[in-house]
Structure 1
Amino acid sequence: MDPKKLKEYEFLWKTTQFPSFKNLSTPVFVSDSMASAPTAVKDPGLLGVALIIRSKDGPRFVFHYPPRPSTKASKREKLYGTELDESDSEDDNARGDGGDDSDLEEIFKGKGIGKLDLNDKSDKKHDHVEVPENDDHYDDKYGVQVVPWETVLGWSTADLRSILTPARGYHKKRFEMTLDPLHFITYPIHIREDGTWKKKKPKKAKKESTAADRNNNVEGSAAEDKHTGVDDDAEDDGGMTMFNVVFILDLPKHEADARIAEIYHHVIKSFHKALNHAQASSNYVWKESEMILGMREKAREERRPMSWLWSEILLRSTLAIAIRDVYIAISNNKIATIHLKTTPPLDLALQIPVPSFLTRLPGPTEPAMPGLLVTTANPLVADEGNEDQETLNKHFALLLLDDENKIIADIQAEDTEISAPLIECIRLCKPTLSFLQVAQSNSIELTSLLILAQHLIHYRRAIALPPLHSREMYIVSPNCDSRKLPVASVAWKKAFPLAPSLPSFLAMLSAAPRPYKSFAPSKNHRPTYLDMLAWLIRGGWVTQLRTFAWILVWPEIIYEVDYQLKADAIEKAKKGTKSNSGSSESPESTDESGPDKHSDNDHIQTLTAEQVAENARLGRLADKAAKQAAEEAAAFAQMPVPVATDHISRNNAEHLKTIPPYIIKDPHKVSHEESLYIAAIGKRITDQKAKDCWQKFVKYFNGNEALEMIALRENMKRKETWGILMQYQEHILVCKHW
């Protein structure tokens, strides 16, 4: 990997809005070998996408897709909690495994879009448009021609275009209109007041030219304008002053706000910024709009059917293709890959991010996502240089979500500057090795490796997870989609013909948890069994059973610390009493030999009464404190002296029965007493190596850090780490979950 190119790519990755890796944006689990893929994701509720502009002729409704948006309820399965409806499984089998991929395939077969193999052997035409209802023109009872494309979702396009072209005050701001139950969301782009679509960078100051040169330049510019027939930018864009692409959504009321914000930030805003860039660079939006409006007017005069017109528009307009691709991909929770024929050409990838894992199972009223990996292992950590940004955890590993050779072939087909580093990253990263281990063993810059891995994860080509290891425990995921077991069993048998059947292997994992290596017949079989494990995790069938711990303080430690605190307090009180008695002086013990004794006699006599009263008050307080200290010392003397036992959890002494055990939840935020508990526990550990590691390991006992990650984070051997942890088993409360 060339470090210079990777540094450049790191900058582009953080700043660009227009990634150019089309084939990397394919959906997850599109091949037959990945039949165990999760498919139950939230329905975006996208009904249609429309392009509206405003020019010197007023607002114009240019194009919308699909031709006839439907408000019927979505056919996508709507499970809640962990319930499984068998009827949905039958519907899935009827549709086939690749049913959801047919729509996405259209995105990549369009004009100007890179090719992509989705294992679909069909030869369907990409530009086929389904014949809508009321496809033909007709005359109403008043003899007025009714055009089929001038009505969308029951609303006249003439009315919608007036409402959906807001004033300049909404320039580059979220504009939302609700016509219950529909939501119209857009990000209007207005032309700048200086007549340009994008702020130009200031040019460097040039040397002053002579008057003759200036005259020659003016004459040359005038001649050029006369030759081209273009006077200014206003004629180039036909007087277009704004454009916006409106997304029409139908969402449940309780989810509307969150889902609208999600699609707005990730899709709508980015799509408008790309079109603004294209309009500023090559007048792209106006040229495409002018062409589409001309085709619409001609089809109106010739009374062409709507299906014919939409087919022709999609054959000739790359902007219409882009709108269609955005609709098809986003409505199916895929990544929309768009190619705009600007100068230079512009590639754009849009998606609503989908979770690659669940940290908790959905509740009975929450949408279910069966088949998605369940784990609390978060691969993102705060960046050391910038806490506001997150980066991949260097102690995690990369698990590809498709066949390695297929991903490499797709990247090679792109042949971009970053293709070679991406391919090398895929070949070097294994699910059994952390990013740090890969970087160290291959002398690669860790930051560059993490950037490449994050690119693959962003485009749904991989996920990050704790490295797979034969000593760890793995269980059947509580979120696995058992409806897909028959199809997945066939793919499993094809991938691992000599392995036990998938139901049998899952049944073995469902028994009492044990280290994964115990399932392999021999040590030579472990690599194959780790490949099997990666296959199962990739499909959401299996998840890791991780170990978490909190510091458990037994009554013996609590009593010992409390006894020592009281002893220190009594000793401090004694020292304070001695110092006070030694430094106190009687009011009468004054120097009577002073020369001014007789001159100040009257003043001393006036203060004597006050001093006597104050001394009496201080005496009473001292007597009370001494009495209280004596009582505390007497009570302390009767307390049993703490005795350190070999097993503090078994200490059943009478003076400890009223003291309950105490759990320290977060070692990073401890009180003074809790810090003394931790120090006292460290003194009880007999093994010297475990004693030295106690303060280093304490930070992991917070219930959030898995003990399996200690070896990686502390750069220790796994066997050695667990040997040390076993020395702490009496001082920690252990819990196992995913």
Structure 2
Amino acid sequence: MASAGAINDSGLLAIALVIRSKDGPRFVFHYPPRPTTKTSRCEKLYGTELDESDSEDENEQRDELDDSDLEESRFMAGKGLGKLDLNDKPEGKKTDHVEVLEGDDHYDDASGEQVVPWETLFNFTTADLRSILTPARAYHKKKFELSLDPLHFVTYPIHIREDGSWKKKKPKKAKKQNSSAPSEGSKGGDGTTVQEGAGKAADNNSEDGDDHGGMTMFNVVFVLSLPKHEADERITEIYQHVIKSFHKALNHAQASSNYVWKESEMILGMKEKAREERRPMSWLWSEILVRSTLASSIRDVFIAVSNNKIATIQLNTTPPLDLSLQIPVPSFLTRLPTPTERAMPGLIVTTANPLVNDEGSEEQEVLNKHFALLLLNDESKIIAEIQADDTDISAPLLECIRLCKPAQSFLQVAQANNIELGSLLILAQHLIHWRRAIAIPPLHSREMYIVSPNCDSRKLPAASVAWKKAFPLAPSLPSFLAMLSAAPRPYKSFAPSKNHRPTYLEMLAWLIRGGWVTQLRTFAWILVWPEIIYEVDYELKAEAIEKSKKGTKSHSGSSESPESTDESGPDKNSDNDQITALTTEQVAENARLGRLADKAAKQAAEEAATFAKMPVPVATEHISKNQAEHLKSIAPYIIKDPHRVSHEESLYIAAIGKRILDPKAKDCWQKFVKYFNGNEALETIALRENMKRKETWGILMHYQEHILICKHW
């Protein structure tokens, strides 16, 4: 797989902590100490054509970075430095020395005023920034975004509640007290006793929560620099997945143990002392990162998010609060990037989407039960990491890893082991979310696999070494990829014998995991040949003529209603002019209807004469080869979506079903039609219909004249 950093650049430049206390806004801390707006010298790849100049070794690229890009590695000293995230090695080791920053020392300006190096960020003074980055209560727990071109300051401000607490407390039931033995200090009434307890709680909150100076709001600001056409989408991603979650965790820590205020007070005290002693900024930041768990957490979040990895941090609260943050990265591409889009070499290319709408909710998506789980790393390593985490879900996750194999769908695993499918899907989704696995169509030796057009060929030398170590008796990686690049054929044909197939499936899983190979899938649309179109059109015209004849007979058989000759009744002596007028209207209407009837009869006769001249449809054995003269002017027709068809298209589908001779294929036609929409791969039919693969393809062979086939990923 391609590195996460290459897949999705977060654009994060710095993270800053700003608070507001009773003394006003305070700029507490920021990381890195000297952030830069300069873009990386490593060129971003676009499209699918890779520039040879970008194939340098990662170590050479790292050596070429300027000093400002190396600040991350210079400040890796301190507690928690070797902390692991969920899927990576330690970020670094402790260093015994502190490297000097540019503009590291204090100096006096022309007026003799001391200039402190940490009181400037991105050419803005922290005194100015702290005012605009501590918005009013109206922005409490709302997205706050400020743009100072080219910088975007994005945050989720947290204000103290109006009742003086940081979090809404759940109402507690009052404890019953023995009226005969009132508590000490009470004045004899239950109400007095309760008030005393509340007063003690208030005193404790004031002592631990307010800490005689008190913080009224805090704000962790993420500073981003993004291209304009990507800014809105990328800001929304980091806000939803990182910024909001980080603030909520800090709010919980502040409410439970006054964590943010205590850490901020300690950092501000260290900065003030360093200011008086004119300590270098590099020395001060190293000390802060060693002593403050909040500062080291901000650093860990910055480093992880900047590299699009998972940030795993622990806040030193009581009890300790563990938190994992990440910006989700795609596990596959449905199409290749255009020349103007950023390239993602090494990412799997496939249109197989593992997410489907939940049956209970159209908005919520769940894992497709017909997909399989593919681990992204060595199974033993993932198991060791999960065992080291030792959480409540560790045991079920280990069982999920043991049971799920890339050649078996989730449904097959659940049925074979008699376990609940829903629970299995939840555990698999957990592994996918934390980048330990991906969901793929189950591997099968009868399927076709090709070299991925998005594979990162620059990594071929290193991958060849790893391949040889994993499969010492297999052909070399370049040779094996060359074989797959030839005319596609079932994967089982590459194995020397049937006994080699399990090993070759392991090799296939390795290749897909690294983005070297993707499945060649088959898609189809319903193809209506002119013979079927003519037959349906002929039947529709015959029905129309028959209806027209029935209507004409019905009209001619109905007599005009005669005038009443009964002269009895009250209208016997009615006015003669009125009778004459009514009779004239009736005559005119009858004449008009007669003309319409004659016209309709004449038109029906013409249509009947034309229809009589039409050749009667004849069903041929191979409709695609029918070269009859009356069909030459009719073009074949493709039904794109069988789920949404017109009346004529439904008749085409029914007419094709009548032409299928094999009884089993004829019975399955209406059941298989829904898959012929160009989106559902034919390889999924066997799994979804619970049929044998060989039987399914045998039935599909009977439809080959009636469907248009296309193969791609």
Instruction: Please give the range of the TM-score, normalised by the shorter of the 2 chains.
Output: over 0.9
- Aligned sequence identity (%): 78
In the alignment, which residue of structure 2 is the partner of 1:587?
A: 562
Candidates 507, 524, 527, aligned match of 1:532: 507
Instruction: Give the counterpart letter for 1:322 in structure 2.
Output: S
Change over 3 Å in CA distance of 1:572–1:235 after alignment to 2? same
Q: Is the 8 A contact 1:38 1:370 kept in 2?
A: no
In the alignment, which residue of structure 2 is the partner of 1:161?
A: 130
- Displacement of 1:42 after TM fit? 2.7
Change over 3 Å in CA distance of 1:640–1:219 after alignment to 2? closer
In the alignment, which residue of structure 1 is the partner of 2:184?
A: none
In the alignment, which residue of structure 1 is the partner of 2:168?
A: 199
In the alignment, which residue of structure 1 is the partner of 2:480?
A: 505
Distance 1:220 1:457 in 2: 49
In the alignment, which residue of structure 2 is the partner of 1:737?
A: 712
In the alignment, which residue of structure 2 is the partner of 1:559?
A: 534
Instruction: Give the counterpart letter for 2:297 in structure 1.
Output: A
Q: Is the 8 A contact 1:186 1:268 kept in 2?
A: yes
Q: How does 1:486-525 map to 2 (within 5 A)?
A: 486-525=461-500
Q: Is the 8 A contact 2:32 2:72 kept in 1?
A: no
Gaps of at least 5 residues in structure 1 are 1-28, 30-35
In the alignment, which residue of structure 2 is the partner of 1:26?
A: none
In the alignment, which residue of structure 2 is the partner of 1:145?
A: 114
Q: Is the 8 A contact 2:153 2:221 kept in 1?
A: yes
- Displacement of 1:587 after TM fit? 2.7
Instruction: Give the counterpart letter for 2:113 in structure 1.
Output: V
Q: Is the 8 A contact 2:19 2:215 kept in 1?
A: yes
Distance 1:363 1:677 in 2: 38
In the alignment, which residue of structure 2 is the partner of 1:46?
A: 12
Change over 3 Å in CA distance of 1:213–1:117 after alignment to 2? closer
Change over 3 Å in CA distance of 1:221–1:475 after alignment to 2? closer
Distance 2:318 2:674 in 1: 55
In the alignment, which residue of structure 2 is the partner of 1:722?
A: 697
Distance 1:383 1:75 in 2: 45
Instruction: Give the counterpart letter for 1:388 in structure 2.
Output: E
Between 1:185-194 and 1:209-218, the stretch displaced more is 209-218
In the alignment, which residue of structure 1 is the partner of 2:414?
A: 439
Report whether the alignment pairs 1:636 with 2:638.
no
- Displacement of 1:141 after TM fit? 2.6
- Displacement of 1:151 after TM fit? 1.2
Change over 3 Å in CA distance of 1:418–1:223 after alignment to 2? closer
SS of the residue aligned with 1:544?
strand
Between 1:193-202 and 1:312-321, the stretch displaced more is 193-202
Instruction: Give the counterpart letter for 1:215 in structure 2.
Output: T
Q: How does 1:204-219 map to 2 (within 5 A)?
A: 204=173, 212-218=189-195
Q: Is the 8 A contact 1:127 1:311 kept in 2?
A: no
Larger RCO (alpha carbons 8 Å, 6+ apart):
1
TM-score (norm 1): 0.90
Candidates 267, 281, 284, aligned match of 1:292: 267
In the alignment, which residue of structure 2 is the partner of 1:86?
A: 52
SS of the residue aligned with 1:90?
coil
Q: Is the 8 A contact 2:82 2:93 kept in 1?
A: no
Distance 2:213 2:426 in 1: 43
Between 1:247-256 and 1:522-531, the stretch displaced more is 247-256
Q: Is the 8 A contact 2:449 2:484 kept in 1?
A: yes
- Displacement of 1:119 after TM fit? 8.5
Distance 1:107 1:137 in 2: 23
SS of the residue aligned with 1:402?
coil
Q: How does 1:378-389 map to 2 (within 5 A)?
A: 378-389=353-364
Between 1:110-119 and 1:56-65, the stretch displaced more is 110-119
Between 1:576-585 and 1:489-498, the stretch displaced more is 576-585
Q: Is the 8 A contact 1:39 1:371 kept in 2?
A: no
Distance 1:443 1:341 in 2: 43
SS of the residue aligned with 1:177?
strand
Gaps of at least 5 residues in structure 2 are 180-187
In the alignment, which residue of structure 1 is the partner of 2:104?
A: 135
Change over 3 Å in CA distance of 1:387–1:420 after alignment to 2? same
Instruction: Give the counterpart letter for 2:190 in structure 1.
Output: D
Distance 1:200 1:551 in 2: 62
Instruction: Give the counterpart letter for 2:13 in structure 1.
Output: L
Instruction: Give the counterpart letter for 1:283 in structure 2.
Output: N
Q: Is the 8 A contact 2:456 2:516 kept in 1?
A: yes
Change over 3 Å in CA distance of 1:667–1:657 after alignment to 2? same
- Displacement of 1:466 after TM fit? 0.4
Between 1:643-652 and 1:109-118, the stretch displaced more is 109-118
Distance 1:435 1:530 in 2: 18
In the alignment, which residue of structure 2 is the partner of 1:469?
A: 444
- RMSD, aligned CA: 2.8
Change over 3 Å in CA distance of 1:539–1:108 after alignment to 2? farther
- Displacement of 1:75 after TM fit? 3.8
How big is each residue's C-alpha offset from its partner over 1:182-221, in whole Å with a ceiling of 9 and x where there is no partner? 1111111111222221222234477799752333454566
Distance 2:25 2:603 in 1: 89
Between 1:630-639 and 1:142-151, the stretch displaced more is 142-151
TM-score (norm 2): 0.93
In the alignment, which residue of structure 1 is the partner of 2:31?
A: 65
In the alignment, which residue of structure 2 is the partner of 1:452?
A: 427
Change over 3 Å in CA distance of 1:277–1:107 after alignment to 2? farther
Report whether the alignment pairs 1:124 with 2:128.
no
- Displacement of 1:257 after TM fit? 1.9
Distance 2:507 2:499 in 1: 14
How big is each residue's C-alpha offset from its partner over 1:237-257, in whole Å with a ceiling of 9 and x where there is no partner? 732111111111111222222
Instruction: Give the counterpart letter for 1:418 in structure 2.
Output: I
Change over 3 Å in CA distance of 1:523–1:105 after alignment to 2? farther
Distance 1:478 1:321 in 2: 41
Change over 3 Å in CA distance of 1:256–1:494 after alignment to 2? same
How big is each residue's C-alpha offset from its partner over 1:431-489, in whole Å with a ceiling of 9 and x where there is no partner? 00000000000011000000000000000100001001000000000000001111100
- Displacement of 1:234 after TM fit? 6.6
Q: Is the 8 A contact 1:82 1:362 kept in 2?
A: yes
- Displacement of 1:666 after TM fit? 0.3
Report whether the alignment pairs 1:573 with 2:542.
no
Distance 1:449 1:352 in 2: 24
- Displacement of 1:322 after TM fit? 0.9
Distance 1:108 1:116 in 2: 17
In the alignment, which residue of structure 2 is the partner of 1:275?
A: 250
How big is each residue's C-alpha offset from its partner over 1:104-161, in whole Å with a ceiling of 9 and x where there is no partner? 9999995398656988699721797653212222222322222111111221111111
How big is each residue's C-alpha offset from its partner over 1:370-391, in whole Å with a ceiling of 9 and x where there is no partner? 0000000000000111111000
Distance 1:101 1:404 in 2: 34
Q: Is the 8 A contact 1:44 1:331 kept in 2?
A: yes
- Displacement of 1:266 after TM fit? 1.3
Distance 1:600 1:382 in 2: 75
Distance 1:107 1:530 in 2: 42
Between 1:177-186 and 1:53-62, the stretch displaced more is 177-186
